[in-house]
Amino acid sequence: MNQSKILNFISGNVSSLNGVGYKTKKLLKKKKIEKISDLLWNIPQGFTDRSNLVTLDKLVIGKITTIKIKAVKYNFPRIRNLPNKVVCKDDFGKIDIVFFNSREGYIRKVLPINSTVIISGKIGYFKKNYQITNPDYIVPASQQGYVDKIIPKYSLTEGLTEKTYRKIIDQVLNKIIALPEWHNKEILEKIGNVPWSKSISEIHKNNDNNINTKFYRRLAYDEILANLLILSRVRQKIRKHKKIKKEFDTTLHKKIIKNINFDLTNDQHNVLNEINNDLKSEFKMFRLLQGDVGSGKTIVSLISAGNVIKSNWQVALMAPTEILAKQHYDLALKIFDKTNIKIEFLSGNSDAKHKNLVQKNLLNGKINLLIGTHALFQKKILFKNLGLVIIDEQHKFGVKQRIELSNKGGKNCDILLMSATPIPRTLVLTIYGDMDVSRLIEKPKNRKNIITLSKPEDKIDEVLLYIKKQISKGCQVFWVCPLIDESKKLDYSSAVLKYNYLIKNFSKKIGLIHGALDKNKRDIVLKKFMEKKINILVSTTVIEVGVDFPNANLIIIENSNKFGLSQLHQLRGRVGRGADQATCILLYKKNLSENAKKRIKILKSTNDGFFIAEEDMKLRGFGDMLGYQQSGIKDFNLADPIVHEDLFKIAESNVKDIELDENNFNKYKFILKLFDKAEILTETT
């Protein structure tokens, strides 16, 4: 088959394969296998050794064994629910082959009397007789080579047997033959010098299938390259959007700095220069502002908004929750004080009269900056001349959503996304290769590093005394628990039980929020906390990102060993937002795992979120990192950014060479389609 025929074949539905009827198709769908290509990426989880062909005098109970025997007697009981049994033997002994839920006709067909067959399954022992129940394989002696070997073990759903699945995947592998190579000689040598079709066959059939074999690395490289190539192409297409340049001076910028009454960090100045260069360019800005917690992203975004407004354009700033959007609105009113910039707020809870007024004033240009929630993108909300869209805390946007966002803003609208979730440097290109990325690492000079302590849970009385002392000084406290309710299976604390426990030990000025709480009720509790009507806020991880509570300077994280390192850092970042010293106390249960000890030690040693993200990835592995699966990284079936870091570097360089030549790019369309990336190109304009 050539590339085109192979693509057509593997793009087809699994139902086109022999042996895949309605029932099997449904079972495969449970494993998210619908296209034939999905079978290729469902690689073996391990291998079963069926090569130990033994005689019946050498059986070991509990071991998967392959035997060559003859059927000598059928036992088909006429009593319902009793199993069918076939007595078999070789020159050294006998064994019972037992069948549950198998018809008599099927058994007679696969085990005819006096015919030699190969059977493989787990050896059992019942009533002084060896037996194999519902054997995995029964084949004629002529097919011994198909069974008597090391066989791939796949992750399968109940009802789908290894034997059935092997027949299906073998059909596919047998049709994929040698293809014309798309990599040049230099790249091939760097990635193992093995062809694609040989590699795909080897990882399904060869029991030496670890992540660093040359065959695995070859396939991982193609997956990495397809991912980076599509991001690069999307980036190119977005950059072709020419726009009217924004023109502004530094007058407003300087006025804003006076209003906020503190100096910007060097990082903030550098990032502002990057954004301003984009705004003044004739090409559309599509930039991610990635900043550690408390690094001052919002100030940078609002100064950028002011520059755009100075250029006679409107700006929309969207946040994921009403309370965070309102906080941005209040800050904007403060920093744009006495600038004649008209700012409005809009959310799903805004009344009809206010919404109508906002719609009218947006269209006639009387609103310069609109801040709110997703309500900003309702069809009825139309701008006179939208020049910049800022979206806060949208780190979970995938590439498709980012394309839609870029298109929605219009040809003259620049896009700035902000995220407080630090991404390890090795992954930035992998996730955000279609965007320009700016980083804020340096913290404002008035911010003190958060002191992080750890305490075993049996010393909770000491923690309670410390809390009372802090409350007496006017400080507010977060108390974070992993789950909403008590779990019998998991050794986690319950936010609800902790809330009741703390009420007994403190005054009634205690609040509770969790994911199951109605959003409006949650916002009411957060507002009370912000207004200092609540001393202690008991919460699950819903307080992880976003809102500033300058008066909250103590956070207790219970069962801290159950959280990931990056998540602990995000939670810790809810305090220390003002000028006062903040403290984070990590409560833990005894008998910590080595990984839990390392996580707590790292968190106590640094406040650098980017360093923490790198260490988190090393400790937990790329696939398990909190939040990254929603970011698009889960698109990888084979590649691992930790283990295959060298392949990512090779691919990054390779992409630059490929992009220089359109004909060269066309050679790689095969892998774009192979890894389901090609359709993304059609969504760009």
> Consecutive sets of 10 residues in the chain, 685 residues long: mean pLDDT of each?
80 90 92 90 88 92 94 90 92 94 90 94 93 94 90 87 91 85 91 91 82 91 90 78 87 81 86 95 89 84 94 90 85 88 89 88 92 82 89 64 63 87 72 80 80 91 91 90 61 74 84 80 85 88 66 89 83 81 90 85 88 79 42 63 85 85 79 75 53
Q: Say which residues have a Cβ less than 8 Å from residue 258's Cβ, sequence separation at least 6.
A: none
For residue 206, what pLDDT is reported?
82
d(CA 231, CA 209) in angstroms, rounded, equals 29
Q: Nearest CA to 381 among 395, 399, 361? A: 361
What is the token pair recorded at 341?
């910039």
Q: Say which residues have a Cβ less than 8 Å from residue 170's Cβ, sequence separation at least 6.
A: none
Strands 46-49 and 150-153 turn out to be antiparallel
DSSP string computed for 581-607? --EEEEEE-SS--HHHHHHHHHHHH--
d(CA 558, CA 479) in angstroms, rounded, equals 7
Element (H, E) at 672: helix 669-674
pLDDT tens per residue, range 146-171: 998 888 888 888 888 888 999 999 99
Element (H, E) at 530: helix 519-530
Question: Between vectors from CA 557 to CA 555 and to CA 562, what angle results, nearest 5°?
Answer: 160
d(CA 439, CA 267) in angstroms, rounded, equals 8
Return the DSSP state at 169: H
Q: What are phi and psi of 17, to 5 degrees?
A: -85, 150
The answer to whether 132 touches 71, Cβ cutoff 8 Å, is no
Rounded to two decimals, what is the model's pTM? 0.71
For residue 624, what pLDDT is reported?
43
Residue type, 585: I
Q: Quick one: residue 606, left, alpha or beta (phi over 0 = left, psi -120 to 50 = alpha)?
A: beta
Residue-range domains of the chain with CATH? 3-46+174-205 (no CATH), 47-153 (2.40.50.140), 215-240+645-682 (no CATH), 251-440 (3.40.50.300), 451-606 (3.40.50.300)
d(CA 543, CA 26) in angstroms, rounded, equals 40
For residue 99, what pLDDT is reported?
94
What is the token pair recorded at 567?
């998540």
Exposure class string for 523-548: b at 16+ Cβ within 10 A, else e: bebbeebbeeebbbbbbbbbbbbbbb
Between helix 322-335 and helix 519-530 the angle, nearest 10°, is: 40
Q: Nearest CA to 582 among 293, 332, 265? A: 293
For residue 547, what pLDDT is reported?
64
Radius of gyration of the chain (CA): 31
For residue 405, what pLDDT is reported?
58
Question: Between vectors from CA 257 to CA 254 and to CA 259, what angle results, nearest 5°?
Answer: 115
Q: Say which residues have a Cβ less than 8 Å from residue 476's Cβ, sequence separation at least 6.
A: 529, 532, 534, 535, 536, 537, 549, 551, 552, 553, 554
Q: Say which residues have a Cβ less than 8 Å from residue 560's Cβ, sequence separation at least 6.
A: 454, 568, 586, 587, 588, 600
Exposure class string for 414-449: b at 16+ Cβ within 10 A, else e: bbbbbbbbbbbebbbbbbbbbbebbbbebbbeebee
d(CA 586, CA 660) in angstroms, rounded, equals 52
Q: Is residue 255 exposed (0-12), middle (13-18) or buried (19+ Cβ within 10 Å)?
A: middle
